[in-house]
Amino acid sequence: MTLFETVLTPYKNMKQFFLLIIIFILLLSYSVFGNRETIAITPTRVFRQTSRPKIISRKKWKAKEPIGKAQKHTIGYITIHHTATLQNEKITIEKKMQNLQNFSQNESLLASGKAKPAWFDVPYHYYIGVDGKIAEGREIKFVGDTNTEYDPTGHALIVLEGNFQTEQPSSRQQKSLQKIVAWLAFNRKVSASKIKAHNDYAATACPGENLKKLLPALRQKIGEINRASEKR
């Protein structure tokens, strides 16, 4: 039966007739409410931009328990790092997190000759792999760790995989960075001016020039999102 016949013989085929009515109502309501959403696009987009990105949990990457004790803190800053290791597409993010945790929770001698103590846990709160996947590091309620001279109390620490003195952050990493920073900034009420690089606080090459030069645009974007969210 063609659509035309269906319309002409509605009472002979009640099922199809009602189906057409339902489709008609759906189209009508879409044209009314769909348009309303177009007008109010800013809050909708802000909501999407500040929502929690997908994060691989500690449980998912089979994190070990933290060791010893760590201080608790309230987030007031977002600070960006690089791993300073070369990007590697072949290793899964789960394995990278396990390796980083093993390194973190053991003592070692750094290239600088400085002794690194055994840390409580992974030093960073979030890790962004070269593929753009995000994994949960140390629980954000705990202060992170550093080998450099600054106090990371109050800092949400985000690390991107790579050595950005020589490599480039992948476009997927850049997208994930913006997502997680927007989510953190909105939920922890961090202003755009408090989104900075590790080397804004300590003498280090971290997070590398190629990542650092992206931060002014990131701050601007987060500023726009924060301002739009205040109008909600």
| Binding positions for Zn ion, rule: CB under 5 A | 81, 198, 206
* Residue 207 C-beta: closest distance to Zn ion, Å: 6
Q: Which is nearer to Zn ion, 43 or 117 (CB)?
A: 117
Distance CA 198, CA 232 (A): 32
Q: Which is nearer to Zn ion, 200 or 224 (CB)?
A: 200
Helix ranges restricted to H, the chain: 3-8, 14-29, 35-39, 41-50, 93-104, 171-188, 209-212, 215-230
Q: Which two tokens stand for residue 14?
A: 């009640």
* Cα angle value 173/119/67 (rounded, 5°): 110
Q: Rg of the Cα trace of the chain?
A: 24
Q: Which is nearer to Zn ion, 49 or 208 (CB)?
A: 208
* Residue 199 C-beta: closest distance to Zn ion, Å: 8
Q: Which is nearer to Zn ion, 198 or 219 (CB)?
A: 198
Q: Which is nearer to Zn ion, 13 or 168 (CB)?
A: 168
* Residue 118 C-beta: closest distance to Zn ion, Å: 19
Distance CA 173, CA 130 (A): 6
* Residue 63 C-beta: closest distance to Zn ion, Å: 21
* Residue 43 C-beta: closest distance to Zn ion, Å: 35
CA 204 to chain centre: 24
5 phi/psi in degrees, rounded to 5: -65, -35
User: How many other CB atoms are there within 10 angstroms of residue 39's CB atom?
Assistant: 7
